[in-house]
Structure 1
């Protein structure tokens, strides 16, 4: 179509329609002014809340100016894609200490390629209609403040746990962006509806949400099990429980997630039995099995060493089992120094539980013997005693 005759209001509606055709649950448009968000981000960095994620501190100015990331950008098209798998069994898995808990977004295939391909297809549809379009797709792959952009685009609001929440879809979704050079109408920003609720702050196992809308990543289980490539601080290990990749607690407790939408994408459904696997089953994998089984999974990027580290911690947190101790000892001789340190900790935890069980058994035996003695004495006493 002739660019001079384009009705951008009409084009915006077409883009929303095309987005739905491509599997995006929602599409919105924002300008590129992020000044109201950037100061908060800079303060977050100054507080060292990003931990070892040095990439968060890189390209700081670019994060606040998408047009520096892709020259000519004047609008950002933000999209949402739901990922909640069927039969997620959240609470049930968390309660089964011998089972592995994997964050729900990571049960299926890696979302990056799928969403990027769909965003590129959306860009081409727009370009066919508006020839002057220049676009660039991003899916968690560039220095972009994607949640603020999505909030400005009307896809929801940033909650107290710093994740985006949608009134009609909760927070179980991925975000993606198209940076474009055309003057699309800006979507209406949604009102923050967290109100006085602090459920996410209270439920966090490690108290990583240090204040409303502020997360200290160094305390966050998702950071500790995914981003951290070093030793997990001892103080956090017991709090990790059986979570071996990520944590969903702040989303599980959020009342808005009663409106969450199940994913329509087969790629996001659980694969390789990750939603039902036991810790011992996964700990038995060697590196070749890890790499081949998790081909196409986002989990693969943490590497085999961190995978073993995380499972060792979870095994230490599981109920006492001689099989667990045997498995930990069997892996130790082949483990790296970092993994071996976590295995030693796990064995110590298991042995402590074993001792507690032994003491408890002895105490119970003593109580039974004492009760029997009392009954024997009572039987031998005169009736009028």
Structure 2
């Protein structure tokens, strides 16, 4: 019964729009707790205090929900239609990470997970919980334990079938389903993702220091960014795709199936973004994951990009914000004006 149910579940998952599905057990990542503790002890989590506060649950999925017997891991492609790296040369435009170009993936993936979960409950009595990135669940180690892919040298999950442009979702269930074999690394001697990182955020292969990661700096980090890092951020104003975009496994990337992931923000002119007030920011990025960082942090990022643009025509727009009510924005504006 369980093998047949698993086959039906996979077919249903693909029908719902997921790109791949594998299953593991809640206790399949015993090494995760120690690795997380080391990461936090070294301070590499930066200001992400929630990693430290909920380590017990994050490091042991079976502690999060003791009744769970299986973890269904799902991948959903958001592969961009074009390589985002050339946009870095348009220095007077802001580069937004491919995953944030469309609608908020939290909403899209969670709705799909819930539909799949309801289908599973209709097939056989069980309980489920669905997770997409916002709960203390270590999706990446679970994905590797399930055989969905492996954590590459850039610490993101990649797959021989999908490349690395995909989101992860998890369904915990009380059903005892057949598990899949764990995946191993297929990175070989390749170091492309490590070599391209503009800030040197990888102390070693398979290790990340978030404090130097542009994705972390533009999204999670509040307050001013260290001045020695600002110049390295280039025109990246929300996230960074460098280590993902350069991965050779992307030759196997599959097209995103949900039109919600289609790019709607593009690479806007910096002069257009730097003048956004709170209301205009919220309107422009309604329904986008960008909205959650707020106007002040976003404009801070834009001003760093302005300072890196090399365009003296943008000096005046930076100066106009040098007395902004937000101290961090004002600091970024003065830095940008001085750079130009």
User: How high is the TM-score relative to the length of structure 1?
Assistant: 0.86
Hey, what does 1:162 align to over in structure 2? 155
Hey, what does 1:10 align to over in structure 2? 4
Q: C-alpha separation between the residues in 2 aligned to 1:96 and 1:261?
A: 27
Hey, what does 1:283 align to over in structure 2? 274
Consecutive aligned runs of 4 or more in structure 1 exceeding 4 Å deviation: none
Higher helix content, 1 or 2 = 1
Higher mean displacement: 44-53 or 33-42: 33-42
Q: Superposition pairs for residues 63-74 of structure 1, below 5 Å?
A: 63-74=58-69
Hey, what does 2:194 align to over in structure 1? 201
Q: Superposition pairs for residues 200-279 of structure 1, below 5 Å?
A: 200-271=193-264, 274-279=265-270
Change (3 A) 1:317 1:335: farther
Residue 74 of structure 2 aligns to a residue whose secondary structure is strand
Instruction: Name the larger-Rg structure.
Output: 1
1:89 positional shift: 4.8
Hey, what does 2:285 align to over in structure 1? 294
Q: C-alpha separation between the residues in 1 aligned to 2:115 and 2:85?
A: 37
Q: Once the two structures are superposed, what CA deviation does each residue of 1:14-46 show, in whole Å capped at 9, x if it has no partner? A: 110110111100011001122122211111111
Hey, what does 2:50 align to over in structure 1? 55
1:335 positional shift: 4.1
Unaligned runs of 5+ in 2: none
Match of 2:105 among 106, 111, 124: 111
Unaligned runs of 5+ in 1: 1-6, 351-385
Q: Would the aligned equivalents of 2:23 and 2:146 in 1 still touch at CA under 8 Å?
A: yes
Q: C-alpha separation between the residues in 1 aligned to 2:238 and 2:96?
A: 5
Residue 210 of structure 1 aligns to a residue whose secondary structure is coil
Q: C-alpha separation between the residues in 2 aligned to 1:107 and 1:165?
A: 20
1:158 positional shift: 0.6
Q: C-alpha separation between the residues in 2 aligned to 1:112 and 1:195?
A: 32
Match of 1:309 among 273, 285, 300: 300
| Residue 84 of structure 2 is aligned to residue 90 of structure 1 | yes
Q: Once the two structures are superposed, what CA deviation does each residue of 1:67-121 show, in whole Å capped at 9, x if it has no partner? A: 33223001100000001233x3512211110111001000001011111111111
Hey, what does 1:126 align to over in structure 2? 120
User: How high is the TM-score relative to the length of structure 2?
Assistant: 0.97
1:149 positional shift: 0.5
Q: C-alpha separation between the residues in 2 aligned to 1:317 and 1:24?
A: 39
